[in-house]
């Protein structure tokens, strides 16, 4: 590898782990967006990425169209949409079944090694709302192949997940236009 491409080594640096567990949490905006940025970076090296969205509405999101142009990234909308907010009209059983199916897909993906990055978007929200059990998500992380990185997003990450993770970032809201009555903006918020 040319010297210009080598990563700088910190004097206390240990050997690099082949796969990491990452979390974006907090009440601020940008958890999914940052995870998508990591997915984009990952795909830039020709690596396969699976994104499973657990809690997203029936809205059409810009990232759905963008990701269709990147063959390295597969996006699956596993949830039944927003849960208890906005356009939710499904009974809880439908949401639980959809979340369980998404978790089964995630379990298979992290154990197979087909994808080197698996993004579990809004899975922390699904845990907090009781659609998934924390123990099942912890067990999934224990089953992943060592070279597979898993990125979890959502508010209020349980301490057990924080303790398991290699990287945890908390997004903090400082200011948001919604507080001024400004609705979500196409191309910025969805």
Res 58 pLDDT > 50: yes
Instruction: Calculate what percentage of the chain has a pLDDT beyond 70.
Output: 79
* All residues at 6 or more sequence positions from 162 whose CB lies less than 8 Å from its CB, including other chains: 23, 25, 168
Residue 1's pLDDT band (cuts 50, 70, 90): very low
Q: What is the mean pLDDT of residues 154-174?
A: 96
> Sheet of 21-25: strands edge to edge?
73-77, 49-53, 117-121, 149-153, 21-25, 167-170
Q: What is the mean pLDDT of residues 43-57?
A: 91
- Domains of the chain (ranges; CATH) run 17-172 (3.40.50.300)
* Cα(25)–Cα(42) distance, integer angstroms: 20
């Amino acid at each position: 590898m040319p010297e210009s491409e080598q990563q700088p080594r910190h004097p206390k640096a240990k050997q690099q782990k082949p796969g990491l567990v990452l979390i974006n949490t907090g009440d601020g905006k940008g958890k999914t967006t940052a995870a998508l940025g990591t997915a984009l970076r990952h795909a830039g090296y020709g690596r396969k990425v699976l994104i499973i969205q657990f809690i997203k509405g029936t809205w059409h999101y810009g990232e759905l169209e963008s990701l269709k142009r990147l063959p390295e990234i597969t996006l699956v909308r596993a949830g039944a949409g927003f849960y208890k907010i906005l356009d939710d009209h499904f009974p809880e059983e439908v949401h639980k079944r959809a979340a369980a199916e998404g978790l089964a897909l995630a379990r298979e993906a992290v154990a197979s090694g087909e994808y080197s990055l698996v993004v579990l978007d809004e899975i922390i929200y699904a845990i907090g709302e009781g659609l998934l059990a924390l123990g099942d998500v912890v067990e999934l992380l224990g089953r992943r192949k060592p070279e597979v990185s898993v990125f979890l997003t959502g508010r209020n990450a349980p301490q057990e997940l924080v303790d398991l993770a290699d990287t945890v970032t908390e997004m903090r809201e400082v200011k948001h236009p919604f507080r001024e009555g400004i609705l979500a903006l196409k191309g910025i918020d969805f």
